[in-house]
A = this chain, B = another copy of it.
Amino acid sequence: MGIREPLGELGCGLSHALEVMGERWSFLILRAAFNGLCHFEEFSQELGIARNILSNRLAKMVEHGVLERTPCESDRRKVEYRLTEKGLGLLPAMLALRQWGEKHADVCNPNLVLVDCRDGEPVQTIGIQAHDGRALGWHELGWQTPDKIGTPVERHDGYHTKENA
């Protein structure tokens, strides 16, 4: 077995991502934001989320720079929550999660498909690619220290390779 991640500190990017987006409604709020919703009432009605939780989540997402909160110019009662660049950067993660869910859900409504708007063709299923664009599966991946990048790695564990009893 090759190199293994240090899980102890939990200190990889995943922990940070989960800290920001790991709570119950965060991803659904994000999805709503990607669909153009930006007012408190819109989120509240579309998601059916409790108002205090919504308030809490929006505040946290603003605090972490995923959303930007700006009082509305035209009507000062209203507030706009809009995705920042950081928030927009979550699209691949959300889509990957969504594609996984669609693939494995019992009931699924593929009544809308995400497409390239230039030609209307569906986007690809999100996957992991090597630097040259080859699609990579888990058994073709390994962990490497930054100083040894560029040197091949033997497989780091025995997943799906029966040869190690």
Contact = CB atoms under 8 A, between A and B. Distances in A.
B123 A141 contact: yes
What range describes how many residues of A lie at the interface?
A: 35 or more
A7 interface: yes
Given A96-B92, A122-B149, A28 B13 contact: no
Contacts of A24: 22
A151 interface: yes
**Copies of the protein in its oligomer:** 2
A92 B100 CA distance: 9
Contacts of A127: 92, 126
17 contacts: A5-B112, A7-B46, A9-B109, A13-B98, A14-B101, A15-B28, A17-B97, A90-B100, A92-B127, A92-B128, A95-B128, A111-B145, A112-B144, A116-B131, A120-B149, A121-B149, A124-B131
